Amino acid sequence: MITIRGLTKRYGATVAVDNLSFDVRPGQVTGFLGPNGAGKSTTMRAVLGLDRPTDGQTLIDGRPYRSLREPLRSIGALLEAKAVHPRRSAADHLKALAQSNGIAQGRVDEVLGLVGLSQVAGRRVGQFSLGMSQRLGIASALLGDPPIVMFDEPVNGLDPDGIRWVRELMRGLAAEGRTVFVSSHLMSEMEDTADHLVVIGRGRLVVDAPIADVISESSHTMVRVRTPEAAKLGALLGSSGGVQVSSPEELLVSGLSTDEIGDVAYDNGIRLHELALREASLEQAYLELSREHLDYTGA
């Protein structure tokens, strides 16, 4: 588990992370969302001891990262895919990491096969595309077979098949009981992958909740109602929820469940032809949450 308590990081007069606290728990994929400049990368760097907090702490299974003797056996991370010596081969890069963490050299071949880079293991990393570099970064994160993995934008540069592979990999790791913490700006991917969401804005916590709750609480989640008495039902529902009359026989209702709408219709003898929940997308829910926390917006 990753534990973050009261994390604050200042760079001069700029507060990048402001008294941030949350847990990333095992057995699920936790998505980490926020606008550009929200403090996501700074938070992840603090977890790995790359940025020293101004205040607060980050813990890996109850211990600071700096106290881990063989850190790759505890947590694997991909923060910057291109942060590799360009003249080293993929295999040599992984072998150096393995040796520094007491990991058997045979594990290098295993992870290269897992990420699909076996055929280019001897090629210099400087010749890799961004997608290939992402795969190598994932191999580095998995090298120590750690119980915790952390990925920052892991699908950048990947083709559709690669994106699907990363999604299934993360879901599989979580199913094994591992802690999976991933940051991404691709809302459709996060919606298909994450179980839980942590959303921050301007360095502060905005939401820490299951993804289903985040979507269901969006104002874009509505119930579609078809009835020959739309006007009558709309008038009855208007005092309890938001009602849009989209046609003489159709309503879009927010703030009420399908059960509540069905009960009102039954109690007033109104015949229903359709009662269907229209969930918001994660993108709609996220934009609603983050609107007040944007530093950079277009006209």
**167 with 41, same domain?**
yes
Alpha carbon distance 4, 58 (integer Å): 5
- List, in sequence order, every beta strand (DSSP E) within the chain: 2-11, 14-24, 28-33, 55-60, 75-78, 148-152, 179-183, 196-201, 204-210, 222-226, 242-247, 250-254, 274-278
Give the lowest-confidence range in 60-69, 87-96, 257-266, 281-290.
281-290
**162 with 60, same domain?**
yes
**69 with 192, same domain?**
yes
Indicate the residue among 162, 180, 209 that finishes a domain.
Answer: 209
Q: What's the longest Cα–Cα distance across the chain?
A: 76
Task: Judge whether residue 7 has pLDDT over 90.
Answer: yes
Place of tokens 């709309």: 234
Has residue 19 been placed in a domain? yes
**114 with 194, same domain?**
yes
Q: Which CATH number characterizes residue 146's domain?
A: 3.40.50.300
Q: Are 203 and 55 in contact (CB under 8 A)?
A: no
Q: Per-residue pLDDT averaged across 163-184, rounded? A: 95
| SS3 at position 101 | coil
Has residue 199 been placed in a domain? yes
Burial class (CB in 10 A: 0-12, 13-18, 19+), 61: middle
Q: Which CATH number characterizes residue 266's domain?
A: 3.30.70
Alpha carbon distance 181, 37 (integer Å): 19
**48 with 194, same domain?**
yes
Has residue 296 been placed in a domain? no
pLDDT value of position 40: 93
Q: Are 86 and 126 in contact (CB under 8 A)?
A: yes
pLDDT value of position 298: 52
Q: Per-residue pLDDT averaged across 105-133, rounded? A: 92
Give the lowest-confidence range in 176-185, 200-209, 242-251.
242-251
pLDDT value of position 292: 66
Has residue 31 been placed in a domain? yes
Query: pLDDT grade, residue 219 (50/70/90)?
Result: low
**179 with 236, same domain?**
no
**Secondary structure letter of residue 281 according to DSSP:** P
**172 with 272, same domain?**
no
| SS3 at position 46 | helix
pLDDT value of position 63: 94
Has residue 41 been placed in a domain? yes
Selection from 79, 74, 77, 47 nearest residue 145 by Cα: 74
**Residue 255: domain span:** 222-278
Has residue 285 been placed in a domain? no
